[in-house]
Amino acid sequence: MKKLLAITALGACSLFSTTAALAAEAGKDLQKVTYLLPAPKTLPAFAPWLIAQHQGYFADEGLEVEFVTGKGGVDVAKQVGAGNAVIGGAIGDTSIIVRANGVPVKSVAVLGAGSLTLIASHADKPVNKPAELKGKVISVMAYTDTTYYSLLGTMRKAGLSRDDADIQAAGPAGVWQLFASGKSEVMAGVPDWVVSARAAGTKVHIMPREEGFNSMAQAILASDEAIKNNPELIQKMVRATLKGMTLIMNETDKAV
């Protein structure tokens, strides 16, 4: 009996060691990828990527993804185009904007439809038309973020330039805090920041989407070089991210 127990224990230890070794080996086989985000990953907008990571969708594709925060979508595009990261996130417009300036990136996936950039104003002093932005104090996240360029596009519809308003870059937290405190009259940003402002007690008015610049939803960007030389990696990233997005759409409770 003692001999049987000893053999069983030895077999269990051997199995455990083998399993641990296989797990460690599997971890070594994962391809490490740096994904540049345009803002802190705590924002709800990045849920598809974080869920893909949490649910193991990236690992299923053989990837170990590290998220690094950039300084806005345009900054992300420039970093990806320069080869400092293989892939990153921005808005669908971003690649169009920077490509005109010689940055070799493309949008390989757009998640959703419609503009991600909202033009928010205070409910007691609503801004409904681009022309009404003239002379306003406007907060944006950064001058290197696509929401800033979307704001300029909206102003351009009324023949306005950036000099026709006091546009202040306040960072990912300051953009909505400046607005919520009343120090800025208008905020150009993503829905997440509108939610933050409202949670702080601010009554917010949103300019009708059709009045603003015809922007796009958030997107995945990759460099021309990565698309040409490593298309499989791009496909894996997109596939895993879309699984995260699908989980949110079809099984919200599980995603949360």
What residue type is assigned to position 130 of the chain? P
Q: What are the pLDDT digits (tens) for 144-189?
A: 999 999 999 999 999 999 999 999 999 999 999 999 999 999 999 9
Angstrom distance (rounded) from CA 111 to CA 242: 8
Angstrom distance (rounded) from CA 204 to CA 197: 8
Q: What is the pLDDT of residue 28?
A: 61
On whether the CB atoms of residues 202 and 178 are closer than 8 A, the answer is no
Task: Count other Cβ atoms within 10 Å, centred on residue 170.
Answer: 19
Q: What is the pLDDT of residue 60?
A: 98
Q: Is pLDDT at 124 greater than 90 in this prediction?
A: yes
On whether the CB atoms of residues 75 and 172 are closer than 8 A, the answer is no
Q: What is the pLDDT of residue 114?
A: 85
On whether the CB atoms of residues 114 and 209 are closer than 8 A, the answer is yes
* Beta carbons within 8 Å of 253's beta carbon, 6+ residues apart: none
Does residue 183 sit in helix, strand or coil? coil
Q: What is the mean pLDDT of residues 120-127?
A: 98
Which CATH code, of 3.40.190.10, 3.40.50.1100, 3.40.50.150, 2.60.40.10, is assigned to 30-114+217-255? 3.40.190.10
* Confidence category of residue 256, pLDDT binned at 50, 70, 90: low
Residue 106 pairs with which residues in a beta bridge? 222
Q: What are the pLDDT digits (tens) for 29-73?
A: 899 999 999 999 999 999 999 999 999 999 999 999 999 999 999
Q: How many percent of the chain have pLDDT more than 70?
A: 88
Task: Count other Cβ atoms within 10 Å, centred on residue 201.
Answer: 7
Angstrom distance (rounded) from CA 133 to CA 211: 12
Q: What is the pLDDT of residue 255?
A: 67
| Shared fold status for 30-114+217-255 and 118-211 | yes
On whether the CB atoms of residues 89 and 73 are closer than 8 A, the answer is yes
What is the domain class of 118-211 according to CATH?
A: alpha beta
Q: Is pLDDT at 93 greater than 80 in this prediction?
A: yes
Residue 118 pairs with which residues in a beta bridge? 189
What's the chain's average pLDDT?
A: 90
Q: What is the pLDDT of residue 229?
A: 97
Going by C-alpha positions, the residue among 129, 119, 183, 122 that lies closest to residue 160 is 129
Residue 207 burial (10 A CB sphere; 0-12, 13-18, 19+) = buried
* Confidence category of residue 139, pLDDT binned at 50, 70, 90: very high
Q: What is the pLDDT of residue 252?
A: 79
Going by C-alpha positions, the residue among 70, 116, 75, 71 that lies closest to residue 93 is 116
Tokens representing 154?
């909206």
Where in the chain are the domains?
Answer: 30-114+217-255, 118-211
Count Cβ neighbours within 10 Å for each residue of 29-66 and write b for 16 or more, e otherwise: eeeebebbbbbebebebbbbbbbbbebebbbebebebe
Task: Count other Cβ atoms within 10 Å, centred on residue 166.
Answer: 14
Residue 108 pairs with which residues in a beta bridge? none
Q: Is pLDDT at 24 greater than 80 in this prediction?
A: no
* Confidence category of residue 251, pLDDT binned at 50, 70, 90: confident
